[in-house]
Structure 1
Amino acid sequence: MIRTVLAGAFALGLTVSATTAEAQQRQRFEYWYGLTGQLGEVMEQHCRRFNESQTRYEAVCVGQGGYDRAEQNTIAAFRARQHPTLVQIYDAGTVNFMLSGVTYNAVQFARDFDMRLNWADYFPGISAYYATSRGDMWSFPYNSSTAVMYWNREAWRSIGRNEPPATWEQMERDMRALRAAGHACPHTYDFDTWQSVEQMSAIHGEPIATRNNGYDGLDAELLVNRGLIPRHLGNLQRWTGEGLARVNTAQTGRTIIQAFADGTCASMLSSIANHGVVGQTAREGLDWGVAMIPLYEGYQRRNSLVGGASLWVLQGKSREEYQAAAAFLDFVLTPAEVKWMPRVTGYIPITRPAFREMQQEGFYAAPPYAGREIAMQSLTATEPTPVTRGIRLGNFTSIRAEIRSEWEAAASGRKTIQQALDDATIRSNQVLRRFEQTMRGRQLP
């Protein structure tokens, strides 16, 4: 009996040793990602899926605690020669990384390491955001989203309407009717500029900056203090004062997602990436859906902007590490993996072949996912124009913070919306000039 146990233990030891040896023989590479919470867990799961799919390579995946930190930590690590091979950088960091001098051009990388990727498979609305002015990709689009309107069907039926509003003028009439019918919060919003400034400008075909939103040069200047944005933010403030809309933020104790999902507020603008969260947290029996963001009358709808992040390869690694990273990129960009991402998150499929397969398989007819195709319709409403392909402004995170700060100041009554946007424009242009000076002598590709 003792001999049997010892023999079994010895055999088990051999198995563990063999497994350890196999892991040690794999070529490892390091991948840093910015997503946190449930989405961070999905990133870890994607790495495990890759590691379990083959025996040659191993992805060592390290969360950075947020998109901002992923960008900052990567630059600092590169200076110390402690950087990863691959990093997930959000949309707002694109121009910073394009001009950083630390990246390995994605088109060249794919060619150098014989990747199976077909660049034409990406939706134009996705690829255009991460492409150079010549259309070359410098990073690999990965997790993508766009903004939509979430609406409470039951609330709208109470005012005799079965369709979401297509225009903001109709939205105002609906909000008044909802308020009269006893709905205390017809609409909720926060101070996130991605929905109310960037997406709103894009779908109306208006730039938020000169030089085609910065694509044509680092000398761009902000334009958010003119045109549509003062009108729209002014309307939001007026509706709030009239009790038709309500601000909900983490600071107020409830986010817009929570306020919508529990049935308190009848509508909101948010990322399609939150579709799964709403579905999982919605009050029992809540009848809700998504629609494209309304337009103001007199405008023709344009494509909305892609959000999310892309994967960047960094310089200074061995050929073996690059081969491992190329295998990982090939893996996550296969149709099977592109389809997997929307199933476990609210993100959209980034390639046309994967989207077609999902349609054929009935993905969008299944109750948990129904409505997510609206995001694809919004993103592909038109071919990207010089104004709707994206936003390419240096230190864009700081610019977003300037606009948000001034918008909050106006909401608190300290200044008018116009004055707030004028001040945000002045300070944002100072951010742009400092970035231009820092990058003096460099040209956007």
Structure 2
Amino acid sequence: MMKTNWLLGAALSATALTFVASPAAAATKFEFWYGLSGDLSERVQEMCSRFNASQADYEIVCVSQENYENNLQNTIAAFRANKQPTVTQISDGGVVDLMLSGAFVPVRELMEKNGYQIDWSNYFSGISSYFSTSKGELLAMPFNSSTAMFYYNTDALKAVGFEGAPQTWEQVEKIARDLKAAGYECPIAFDPTGTWQWFEQFSAVHNQPIASNGNGYGGLDAVVEFNKGKFVDQLGWFKKMTDEGLMVHKSKAAGETANDAFTAGKCQMSSSSVADHGSFAKQAKEGVHWDVTVLPVWEGTERHNSLVGGAALWTLKGKTEEEYKGAAAFYNFIALPAEAQHWSTITGYIPVTNSGFEAMKAAGFYDAAPYKGRELAIQSLTATPPGEYTRGIRLGNFGAVRQEVAKAMQSVIFDGTDPQKALDDAAARSNEILRKFEQTYKGQQLP
């Protein structure tokens, strides 16, 4: 008998999930590794506890690997040692690595084999396409999806005469100058290692290529092109702004992250994931009033859709059928609208289905002060239909490429390297990384 998640395509139920007591020893235990830490890790642990309490057949053991890159590398190492978890959370940057590994069970196959019917067309196309084959087959379960947003202190902006939300980089620069003149020491918190929001998302909303072959979707022989477009000038702008004290270095290496500096009221503008919206609401210092908007673009630029961030859940080969039944039950659980709404509420991650978003909107979720603004993430992701340079980035070992871009950004900011030279050098090293990856999978094609 097929088990249909009828609620997935329906409006959110006002009735809370009914939980039963978890047994002392679950019939089947399986592991889920994830790459989140801090407040978001605590939210994952709560989700795992809710799943365990909701049924008596399976016990999921959820283990944080601290960050996405650690989880990817640890997952690969564990699989080679035949000690892999049943489920692993892999971010957008690790999609190609998993696709070509042959180490996973496609999510559609998993769910159908275990008797679940899911309306896969209900998932936002920009999200599902990131984790799908070129033919549209979804390989992993969409889980925590986000995009980059721009955060600002409403009181500070009003103090210098700016009303509303900044929409262009020209406005951001003027506001920053006015804030500096008014005595604010840190107009913009800037992390020069934050390539996702400052580089990748900038490129997408300005429709700029990061690599040939449609950002790698067309094949493993892609070469990077981030040294040929608008990002060269943008990196020069970052340098000018930091030299003038309008953008201030904030990172773990500097002793205080950009998010911490913003929520403490020390910095008045910053960029981060919409997933941090919930954390900001909890962590903002008393008296710090803030809001969020879409990423700025340069005047005269047609805004394009931003990229999906976050991760999906991949099911790894080599586990027992009972463990796979547990994984399928867990995927079905997190797809329940009541659970999806809870997850979105306590984090800031966007709902991954059309029906989930529409139901939350109809229920007035985005009208409430703690959550107002999160709907702009959907607006950002759907500003235009995903195009050649805005559907995503499909490059092998992309984490290493990101590190090369981060090194270039830091070289310009801290060492005064010419932006064009820094990016040319980063491009050369990145292409070496891509060629090694291509050689590793010689003869293979992206699915």
Q: Would you say same fold, with TM above 0.5?
A: yes
Q: Which residue of 1 aligns with 2:150?
A: 149
C-alpha distance in structure 1 between counterparts of 2:46 and 2:180, whole Å: 44
Do 1:34 and 1:68's aligned partners in 2 also have CA atoms closer than 8 Å? yes
Q: Which residue of 1 aligns with 2:350?
A: 348
After superposition, the CA RMSD in angstroms is 1.8
What SS does the corresponding residue of 1:83 show, helix, strand or coil? coil
Q: Which amino acid aligns with 1:131?
A: S
C-alpha distance in structure 2 between counterparts of 1:88 and 1:413, whole Å: 36
1:213 has 2:215 as partner: yes
- Deviation above 4 Å: which 4+ runs of structure 1? 19-25
CA offsets 1:4-53 (integer angstroms, 9 cap, x no match): xxxxxxxxxxxxxxx99955462332222222222222222111111111
TM, length-normalised to structure 2:
0.92
C-alpha distance in structure 1 between counterparts of 2:258 and 2:89, whole Å: 26
The 5-angstrom pairing of residues 43-442 of structure 1 reads 43-191=44-192, 192-442=194-444
Q: CA deviation at 1:289?
A: 0.3
C-alpha distance in structure 1 between counterparts of 2:168 and 2:251, whole Å: 25
C-alpha distance in structure 2 between counterparts of 1:37 and 1:233, whole Å: 30
- Count of residues in Structure 1 that have an aligned counterpart in Structure 2: 427
C-alpha distance in structure 2 between counterparts of 1:308 and 1:183, whole Å: 33
CA offsets 1:147-186 (integer angstroms, 9 cap, x no match): 0000111121122221122111222222222222332322
Q: Which amino acid aligns with 1:94?
A: V
Do 1:201 and 1:229's aligned partners in 2 also have CA atoms closer than 8 Å? yes
Do 2:305 and 2:383's aligned partners in 1 also have CA atoms closer than 8 Å? yes
Moved more, 35-44 or 56-65: 56-65
Moved more, 243-252 or 209-218: 243-252
What SS does the corresponding residue of 2:311 show, helix, strand or coil? strand
- 1:103–1:178 Cα change, 3 Å: same
Q: Which amino acid aligns with 2:356?
A: A
TM, length-normalised to structure 1:
0.92
Do 1:128 and 1:384's aligned partners in 2 also have CA atoms closer than 8 Å? no
Q: Which amino acid aligns with 2:49?
A: R
What SS does the corresponding residue of 2:256 show, helix, strand or coil? coil
Q: Which has the higher helix share?
A: 1
What SS does the corresponding residue of 1:317 show, helix, strand or coil? coil
C-alpha distance in structure 1 between counterparts of 2:219 and 2:166, whole Å: 38
Q: Which amino acid aligns with 2:41?
A: G
Q: CA deviation at 1:58?
A: 2.1
Moved more, 92-101 or 414-423: 414-423
Do 2:21 and 2:54's aligned partners in 1 also have CA atoms closer than 8 Å? no
Moved more, 64-73 or 321-330: 64-73
Do 2:144 and 2:349's aligned partners in 1 also have CA atoms closer than 8 Å? yes
Q: Identity, % of aligned pairs?
A: 47
What SS does the corresponding residue of 1:312 show, helix, strand or coil? strand
Q: CA deviation at 1:403?
A: 0.9
C-alpha distance in structure 1 between counterparts of 2:210 and 2:440, whole Å: 22
1:34 has 2:35 as partner: yes
What SS does the corresponding residue of 1:186 show, helix, strand or coil? strand
CA offsets 1:90-117 (integer angstroms, 9 cap, x no match): 1111110000111112222232223232
Extract unaligned runs of 5+ from structure 1: 1-18
Extract unaligned runs of 5+ from structure 2: 1-19
C-alpha distance in structure 2 between counterparts of 1:63 and 1:48, whole Å: 14
What SS does the corresponding residue of 2:183 show, helix, strand or coil? coil
- 1:63–1:254 Cα change, 3 Å: closer
Q: Which amino acid aligns with 1:334?
A: L
Q: CA deviation at 1:320?
A: 2.1
Q: CA deviation at 1:349?
A: 1.2
Q: Which amino acid aligns with 1:174?
A: I
CA offsets 1:67-89 (integer angstroms, 9 cap, x no match): 22222222222222221211111
Moved more, 244-253 or 62-71: 62-71
Q: CA deviation at 1:427?
A: 0.2
Q: Which amino acid aligns with 2:182?
A: A
Q: Which amino acid aligns with 1:434?
A: K
Q: Which amino acid aligns with 1:45?
A: E
Do 1:336 and 1:354's aligned partners in 2 also have CA atoms closer than 8 Å? no
C-alpha distance in structure 2 between counterparts of 1:348 and 1:414, whole Å: 38
- 1:330–1:283 Cα change, 3 Å: same
